[in-house]
Amino acid sequence: MAERSFKAEVEHLRKGAGDVFTGEGILAITKALLENGVGYVGGYQGAPISHLMDVLSDAEELMAELGVRFEANASEAAAAAMLAASVHYPIRGAVTFKGPVGVNVASDALANLCSSGVKGGALIIVGEDYGEGSSIMQERSHAFAMKSQFWLLDPRPNLPSITKAVQDGFELSEASNTPVMLMVRIRSCHVTGSFTTRDNLVPPLTVKDAIANPESDFNRVVLPPMSYVHEQDKVKNRWPAAEKFIVENSLNEIFGPEKAKLGIVVQGGMYNGLIRALQRLGLADDFGETEVPIYCLNVTYPIIRDEFDRFCEGKDHVMVVEEGQPDHIEQQLGAFLFKAGRQLTLYGKDVLPMAGEYTGQVMLDGVTAFLKQAAPDLLPGQVRAPNREASQIPDLSKTVPVRPPGFCTGCPERPIFAGMKLVEQELGKHQITGDIGCHLFGALPPFEIGGATMGYGLGPAANAAFDGGGDRRAISMLGDGGFWHNGLSSSIGNMVFNKSDNVVVIVDNYYSAATGGQDVLSSRAENGTKSTGNPISAALKGVGVEWIRQIDHTYDVSKVRDTLNEALTTEFKGPKVIVASSECMLNKQRREKPVRTQMIKEGRRVDVPRFGVDADICTGDHACIRLSGCPSLSLKRLDDPLRDDPVAYIDQTCVGCGNCGEVADAAVLCPSFYRADVVHNPSAFESWRAGLRSRIITWLQARRSARCLQFEDVVP
């Protein structure tokens, strides 16, 4: 169950010639694929393109009508390998995944694809996840394009430019027999706008037609001596063909006056930020009309030397806006200038940060620094009215605590780490590695379990060096998504083959939860187009794991603790795997809450469990908070003058998972937690009984108060 359904929006994908499409960039990309006769589409979810996979999944019926094959691939490598259909057949194919980690995973397939070349247009749509909104290491995909020599598009972040880039990407790929990467940044994925649509096209050659008439060409197989020919073909034929297409079709754009003493070269994806900075300086208007010439690189690789050379004519100063590092574009342009012998000053990472996201303020500061050196007369306060000073951003680091990501309220993974902390208390600290996914939050307070992650599905592999290295067994975390992605072969298979004696905890929350709740092989939900319900334990047995323990309710902290203790102390030699299963609470709430709300609206009886803390029993040592960390478990000060310390308190965000009480029981903490079932639309008998109880309690409270010794203030 994905976190968002696009069923309603998908109907807009049926719009035809002359209609106006309004929506997010993600939907616009899907529409553009259908308009350009794509024959097959695949990919793997991951921010910021998870929603693109969700849109494609929801649009399967429409794509089937057009004869388009959709595949939710097992990994990015599987997605990239799918593009092999375009190697021998003139079929347009597109795959999507998160970059740069997706590019890293898919690197083998992409390198082979670039070597053999393609007949049909092959488009790799990469969600470039860079900056403070990113969930991964900070890298760029640009270097891989240079290494394997496929062309890289980085369109301006507006819907007409993005949809045009899809068309340009297919045509550029076919013109140069080279796969093309279309980079869409976070802002591009979620930007909202409009564009005029065209009719959806049935692929001229469908995959169904192609398989009926198979083709092959050994010259496209990546083996010597053909692979040597491929390299020469890249340089002598494909590259010139790509440059010719880029120039003739004006894929790059130039804005502003034709003649000026300065100019700015910018990646297409950074164009909006640059225009906004110029606007704040009074050098551009709301519609993008600029007084500073801009060379917008909608194609950031290859860079066209002649185009850049013409842009530099008559200019003394040129600035390069290139987000992230290394500064590939700036170095390339500097080499062009040097070889051309131009006496021109090139600015870039000297006025802009070498690394980090180019936010609005960073861009403004960089452009201002450039103009101070290149054209101080253009700055506000010189030849134009002074621009309003930018408000100072206060330093909140000393007053607002750092807020790293954490487990959601009711997350079934939290009790797993609580159990691990209890084992640590008994057996001592163990070597623990994490894995990509929500369970990586266990490395943060209050658990602080696991201090490394090497890639999706590689948690156990990351602990291989510690196998047999001491008296204590190493522990590895692995999610169900990572298990099916890469973990089964690269981690579990690796452990079996090498007779590892370590322990693996597989967190099975029924979905690829961290990427938005998409189904995986072991999901419990029924999926009409995918095979679900395949147990992880069965796959483990299939590759030779003998010691397997299944926990079907992770909120049982005592069972988690005891099972992990057994795995760490058993005399059994070999891989030991614990599959800890409970449904992701976010997905569970998405499924159950609308049903519950509708039942309440219809007047039907509904029980909603809630937990609370008895303030009279709570000792105030807060051990439950340190061992649980639930966001709904906080502190509350009492009016009692004899109790200075705040007590534990459960707020209104509680989802009734029971983890807090289980933790208190397993750790033998104070028994202050209680469960109360909130009854909506109670029966007549329940209402009468509740009223009777309330009257009795009120009478008892009044009776006790009457017998208490009273102190009154005496005014002299």
pLDDT digits (tens, 9 = 90+) for 566-603: 999 999 999 999 999 999 998 899 889 999 999 999 99
- Please check the confidence at residue 382 and state whether its pLDDT lies above 50: no
> What percentage of the chain reaches a pLDDT higher than 70?
96
CA dist., res. 55 & res. 516, Å (int): 12
Q: Please name the helix (run of DSSP H) or strand (run of DSSP E) that holds residue 373, with its range, or none.
A: helix 360-374
| pLDDT at residue 383 in the model | 35
Q: List residues bridging with 550 in a β-sheet.
A: 579
| pLDDT at residue 53 in the model | 85
- Please check the confidence at residue 185 and state whether its pLDDT lies above 90: no
| pLDDT at residue 204 in the model | 93
Average pLDDT over residues 334-341: 93
Average pLDDT over residues 522-527: 89
- Please check the confidence at residue 385 and state whether its pLDDT lies above 50: no
Task: List pLDDT tens digits, range 453-463.
Answer: 888 889 999 99
| pLDDT at residue 317 in the model | 96
| pLDDT at residue 167 in the model | 97
| pLDDT at residue 52 in the model | 85
| pLDDT at residue 386 in the model | 38
Average pLDDT over residues 487-505: 94
Average pLDDT over residues 376-390: 59
Three-state SS at 64 = helix
- Please check the confidence at residue 23 and state whether its pLDDT lies above 70: yes
| pLDDT at residue 713 in the model | 64
Contact between 172 and 151 (Cβ < 8 Å): yes
In the numeric block, the tokens 């494909």 are attached to 238
Q: Residue by residue, what is the 3-state secondary structure of 649-705? A: EECCCCCCCCHHHHHHHHCCCCCCEEEEEEEECCCHHHHHHHHHHHHHHHHHHHHHH
- The band of 469, judged by pLDDT with boundaries at 50, 70 and 90, is low
Average pLDDT over residues 40-50: 88
- Please check the confidence at residue 96 and state whether its pLDDT lies above 50: yes
- The band of 528, judged by pLDDT with boundaries at 50, 70 and 90, is confident
One-letter amino acid of 283: L
- Please check the confidence at residue 384 and state whether its pLDDT lies above 50: no
Q: List residues bridging with 633 in a β-sheet.
A: 650
- Looking from the CA of 315 toward its CB, the CA atoms found within 13 Å total 27
Label residues 428-449 b or e (16+ Cβ within 10 Å = b).
Answer: eebbbbbbbbbbbbbbeebbeb
- Please check the confidence at residue 387 and state whether its pLDDT lies above 80: no
Going 132 to 133 to 138 to 143, the CA torsion angle's sign is negative
**Which value, to the nearest 10 degrees, does the dihedral of the CA atoms of residues 656, 658, 661, 666 take?**
-170
Highest mean pLDDT among 54-58, 249-253, 286-290, 681-685: 249-253
List, in order of start, the domains of the chain with CATH numbers: 7-248 (3.40.50.970), 254-378 (3.40.50.920), 414-587 (3.40.50.970), 606-703 (3.30.70.20)
- Please check the confidence at residue 479 and state whether its pLDDT lies above 70: yes
CA dist., res. 536 & res. 484, Å (int): 9
Considering only residues 178 and 642, tell me which one the structure prediction assigns the higher pLDDT.
178
- Please check the confidence at residue 2 and state whether its pLDDT lies above 70: no
- The band of 716, judged by pLDDT with boundaries at 50, 70 and 90, is low
Contact between 659 and 627 (Cβ < 8 Å): no
| pLDDT at residue 568 in the model | 95
Query: Which range (247-261, 398-412, 516-530) has the least confidence?
Result: 398-412
Three-state SS at 581 = strand
- Please check the confidence at residue 79 and state whether its pLDDT lies above 80: yes
Q: What is the pTM of this model?
A: 0.87
| pLDDT at residue 15 in the model | 94
Considering only residues 296 and 670, tell me which one the structure prediction assigns the higher pLDDT.
296
CA dist., res. 333 & res. 320, Å (int): 9
Average pLDDT score over the chain: 90
- Please check the confidence at residue 283 and state whether its pLDDT lies above 80: yes
